[in-house]
Chains A and B, each alone.
Chain A
């Protein structure tokens, strides 16, 4: 008994330092039980606190706004403030009336604009993810293989763009890509081209912008993964007669899959909803859901439809991620 109490008291001290107040009285079963109970409570309380703060944060600033958006998506448009009908209403002060309008969602399916915008966003995000992967993998590999001293410098260079405002960096691309911009002038000065290339306000410039902006998000998780890769595995493969290129395909690439997946999700998900880059660099034909959302909210002032667009996009993204996570969890268990 005494041993158990001491153990509990020690644990309590480690966690809160308050358990000392309850002396572990040897031979006194009740006091001992109480001491253990208190320290156990504290221990659990500490754990709850540590997990609870981020949960509370997410509830307040993520789940709650999300619930509000979800609520608005089931309302109907009306003139006034707020510009949507209430969901729950007192009728004649006697009973509550709940009005769920699913017309907004129906509308999304009926108007091809939305479907096209969704598909456009998915395509844009998928191609950009692939591009960042193709560019980011060799970079991450190179950084992971560099001397430890140069490695930190290279990592710093990857993060360096974050020190400038995102907007300014996107605007800078306008300066580079426009008809009389840096790149066109340079190419014409070289004599490679006679008239400016249409580099801006088309799909190309959007791909360029997204790939450029999201590249660090691909490189960093890939680097974290590749840096951990045990080099003796590569030596073992070579020793067993495997050529370097094949070693990359059979050993390095499969082992870096978690990094590839993490990086791809980090790029793909925000790229789907990207608004600033297509708005600033894209042309009129670049149809992306972020822009549709914006014009629904700020031009048409139709909050319910805009909310429905947002919710539908979330569902679009959450479902594949959950399926993926389910399989990954299963794979790790195996």
Chain B
């Protein structure tokens, strides 16, 4: 889903450099030794569950929290110790934090007034921002007279009005309903692309991260687990955590029995056949590994497939119909439940596989990926 232009854009100049940053609240370590470089013009996502430290990291860039140790550089300048009002970044808050006693116009002009810009320029900039978010008609309204989506746009306009070097977005779309959220995702990407401002977004929604970002950092327990492009993250997760957090996955725990440069073979008590994976790993024989197979890469068949590996017999225990696709839950003879998603090529009533059917599941050697931690 990543827009091609954003993905292929070359990012050269580092705009944010986070070096070995640790943040402790009493005994609790919220951020534990994070090192990260974000380049000019990126739309970078910090993804993770609640309490993983992603918001704390964002708040340290904004200046609301100071790191216990480590350095944060914005455009080459060490900002640790600098108060928020002296940092060249702006933030869009999850709650929007619009000033309730000011009109839309006054909200957007607020930051510009602090810079002491001439009145005419403030006016022009506010109008430009209002046009950008298509709210010119609502300039004189107070925030409580706007819908949730409109408030979200005012918050965006206000945080962009000062033309910050970096825009920090804290769960920017979490308060919107699904339909509006999807539309706003694309609009945000569009605006980011047009202005060329670096966006750093915190989100717990992996779909949102995948749709919008040029790069994603998955965080867990205060540490960064993996940083990569969304598609690489999805196809080549480096750990069980990332594989399971970033999209859904079938995971087989097994032992490495053959480790060749271009393939590996794994035996797992959860599946009768051998698992043959078409890429080498730097593991050692006999070690415990996990094989991750995405549900859409598993195929279903009523007759036995011809391949010798990566297959198992099972029974359809549940079907989740989602319109465009259906998810089949197949219980293998070993008791393991495997998710299989299949596009609904025909109408559901005419589908050939249904509840309680005996089926075979199978996948190609290049469809699976081995993770070691």
Contacts and interface: CB of A to CB of B under 8 A. Distances in A.
Contact of A251 (B85, B99, B142): B99
Contacts of A233: 97, 99
B115 interface: yes
Nearest to B114: A241
B64 to A, nearest CB: 6
Nearest to A235: B64
Given A254-B101, A255-B100, A255-B101, A238 B83 contact: yes
A232 B110 contact: no
A238 B85 contact: yes
Nearest to B170: A232
Nearest to B95: A232
A255 B99 CA distance: 9
A242 B113 CA distance: 9
A261 to B, nearest CB: 14
Nearest to B158: A240
A190 B152 CA distance: 63
A240 B162 contact: yes
A238 B115 CA distance: 12
Given A235-B64, A235-B84, A241 B115 contact: yes
Contacts of B99: 233, 236-237, 251
Contacts of B63: 238-239
A176 to B, nearest CB: 42
A230 B97 CA distance: 8
A189 to B, nearest CB: 46
B341 interface: no
A243 interface: yes
B90 interface: yes
A239 B89 CA distance: 8
Interface in B97-116: 97-101, 110-111, 114-115
A237 B62 contact: no
A232 B64 CA distance: 10
B111 to A, nearest CB: 3
B93 A232 contact: yes
A255 to B, nearest CB: 6
A239 B91 contact: yes
Chain B's interface size range is 20 to 34
Given A243-B85, A255-B100, A237 B110 contact: yes
Interface in A238-256: 238-243, 246, 250-251, 254-255
A239 B62 contact: yes
Nearest to B62: A239
Contact of A240 (B64, B95, B100, B110): B110
A62 B99 CA distance: 41
Interface class of chain A by DSSP:
helix
Interface string A94-118: 0000000000000000000000000
A255 B62 CA distance: 24
A316 to B, nearest CB: 31
Contacts of B110: 237, 240, 242, 250
A238 B95 CA distance: 16
A8 to B, nearest CB: 34
B93 A240 contact: no
Among A240, A242, A243, A334, the one with the most B-chain Cβ atoms within 10 Å of its Cβ is A240
Nearest to A255: B101
A240 B101 contact: no
A235 B65 CA distance: 11
Contacts of A250: 110
Given A230-B95, A233-B99, A255-B100, A240 B90 contact: yes
A251 to B, nearest CB: 6
Nearest to A231: B97
Nearest to B64: A235
Nearest to A246: B114
Contacts of B83: 238
B97 A236 contact: yes
A237 B110 CA distance: 8
A138 B97 CA distance: 24
Interface string A37-49: 0000000000000
Among B63, B84, B90, the one with the most A-chain Cβ atoms within 10 Å of its Cβ is B84
A240 B162 CA distance: 8
Contacts of A237: 99, 110
A72 B90 CA distance: 67
Interface of B: 62-64, 83-86, 89-91, 93, 95, 97-101, 110-111, 114-115, 142, 158-159, 162
21 contacts: A232-B95, A232-B97, A233-B97, A235-B93, A236-B93, A237-B99, A238-B63, A238-B84, A239-B64, A239-B85, A239-B89, A240-B85, A240-B111, A240-B114, A241-B85, A241-B111, A241-B162, A242-B85, A242-B110, A242-B111, A255-B101
Top 5 closest A-B pairs, CB basis? Answer: A240-B111, A241-B114, A236-B97, A238-B84, A232-B97
Given A232-B97, A246-B114, 19 more contacts: A233-B97, A233-B99, A235-B91, A235-B97, A236-B98, A237-B99, A238-B63, A238-B64, A238-B84, A239-B62, A239-B64, A239-B84, A239-B91, A240-B85, A240-B158, A240-B162, A241-B111, A243-B85, A250-B110
